[in-house]
Structure 1
């Protein structure tokens, strides 16, 4: 870990989406990230810092300021100093991940497209499946999917129920469904939902409730299970266990690597599943998530199906078309 960092170059990547993407935080047209090119022991590595607007606590500008401040001191240009920095309480989660040696991807490994694991959950946003018309997905498109994740909660509940029914009624799709509600529903909505869909097809609902206190009554109105997601990175406190909680959805870019480890310990103690999830990273960040999933302790399907929303984003070479240099932090100019 005492190896010196011989050089560090920062790049900005603005990756366009194929079409405007409807997220809980609003409509997004592109994804902006920082790519870091490291040289250690003569070998080049890449990592990524990609706070997600509307979800992360930090902005891309704040991340740049933190990096510049830390690397302005020449005695910090070693892997051991970098390790201590990334574990510090003041280090932003996305910066901690991008500066974690475990996330480094060798230059040579990114020359070919990194291969995702086989257990990836298919993602359906509103771009894949419109609310009022016919489904944009088909039997053919989902026939090989064991688990599908649907974005819900941005339309009236009646319309979301109709969307869920259309997926359940596809002839070839026999898998289970995860609903991602982004804290848009009330307990009364959950009770109504439970009475109007095939609950046997629903694996869980991610972050269903707007008011967290309503989880206390969850088990009195439904047999559906739920999972925590954004509440995990909006608070540094341990999660609160309620009847019905079955999983934690872990986004390393929003949580940072050390909180991910702490939450895995909490989940094991409370007999909850853990699944990894991407945050619309570039191929560099995704390569790390694929690597992390290889040794993940459970066999659940991970939420890695986000690269398909980018324009030509499946290789590092294609990404470089959207990259511009920011500055060299090591050695100083």
Structure 2
């Protein structure tokens, strides 16, 4: 991710327990190269802000947004964990699902896209396996091989599946504008849903769309914009929301509302969190994701082991939210701080 290869993930699990023994869990796992804060940063930060929690009103009668707005400011990855822990605690207190707590209909199934990397040959073989599991969307990282190779790859994938799988491509702003246009013009007749961050200069994304007619998606570019600054670009089709990067759930909700008003799609995506974080993002996708769109939550397939029992998983291309009970593998965790209010 963002040019950073990792062979393991570390993170901080925040557990809030009320006087009745009800709990809420959150996952703070900064990703090197994506988050500015480190794991040690958020551990130190948490130790500094925890006394404020004793002043919070998290009773069942309080509005969840009132509770979240009263939390102290902190770095994005930690804030995501804290916000979600309080959503879970609210859910436990009220016996309502997190999706209902967030103010949405109680959806119990979330579809996911497959994430493919590697050589073109490896991507083709992986795509065939996903197709056999009824995946309807696959995401392919581009701008990692020669352009001609990737043009041939996209054409081959399109021919293999006959338009039955939508292709989500992600260039991570790695191409120059001319390179992006060359690629786009060569593959514009294929079943591309959108191209994330097509070139290195976001100001040229609209020019890319005009040249190629391929819609694009914002991911990293969202961090350089606010809801109040954002324009309704013609070529912009979808916002890719990473809650662990946005941090505040209120920011996530603001982007969801903006997208709804501008008729843009919302796709949620993970940053290789544990099952705790993935369940949180899955609930957000159920609450706020655009109906019918698959979400970028298959990163669990890249983890050798989860810290939850059962491990976060999908059945073919969907995740069942009807039963969200799980336990932590506490033997895999190290307690670093505890405070009673």
Question: Are positions 1:327 and 2:310 aligned together?
Answer: no
Aligned to 1:142: 131
What SS does structure 1 have at the residue aligned with 2:11? strand
What SS does structure 2 have at the residue aligned with 1:35? strand
1:66-145 equivalence runs, <5 A: 66-72=45-51, 75-76=54-55, 79=58, 83-86=68-71, 88=72, 90-100=73-83, 101-103=86-88, 117-126=109-118, 130-131=119-120, 135-137=124-126, 139-143=128-132, 144-145=134-135
Aligned to 2:274: 282
- Displacement after TM superposition at 1:163 (Å): 2.4
- Displacement after TM superposition at 1:78 (Å): 5.5
Aligned to 2:241: 250
Q: Distance in 1 between matches of 2:34 and 2:116?
A: 19
Provide Cα deviations, 1:258-314, integer angstroms capped at 9, x if missing partner. Answer: 111111122123221111111111001111122222233521111111100011338
Identify the structure with the greater helix proportion: 2
Q: Distance in 1 between matches of 2:58 and 2:35?
A: 26
Question: Are positions 1:52 and 2:31 aligned together?
Answer: yes
On the 8 A contact 2:171/2:198 being kept in 1, the answer is yes
- Displacement after TM superposition at 1:74 (Å): 7.4
- Displacement after TM superposition at 1:191 (Å): 2.2
Aligned to 2:306: 313
Q: Distance in 1 between matches of 2:14 and 2:192?
A: 40
Aligned to 1:166: 156
Change (3 A) 1:45 1:74: closer
Q: Distance in 2 between matches of 1:78 and 1:191?
A: 53
Match of residue 293, structure 1, among 274, 285, 291: 285
The two structures have a TM-score, normalised by structure 2, of 0.77
- Displacement after TM superposition at 1:255 (Å): 0.5
What SS does structure 1 have at the residue aligned with 2:338? strand
Q: Distance in 1 between matches of 2:163 and 2:180?
A: 24
Change (3 A) 1:60 1:216: same
Change (3 A) 1:67 1:274: same
Provide Cα deviations, 1:54-79, integer angstroms capped at 9, x if missing partner. Answer: 11232222211221111145744653
On the 8 A contact 2:209/2:215 being kept in 1, the answer is no
Change (3 A) 1:321 1:75: closer
- Displacement after TM superposition at 1:199 (Å): 3.2
Identify the structure with the greater strand proportion: 1
Q: Distance in 2 between matches of 1:50 and 1:174?
A: 35
Runs of 4+ in 1 over 6 A off after TM superposition: none
Change (3 A) 1:201 1:152: same
Provide Cα deviations, 1:239-271, integer angstroms capped at 9, x if missing partner. Answer: 344331111011111102111111112212322
- Displacement after TM superposition at 1:224 (Å): 0.3
Question: Are positions 1:181 and 2:166 aligned together?
Answer: no
Coordinate RMSD, CA, aligned: 3.1
- Displacement after TM superposition at 1:82 (Å): 6.5
1:202-221 equivalence runs, <5 A: 202-221=192-211
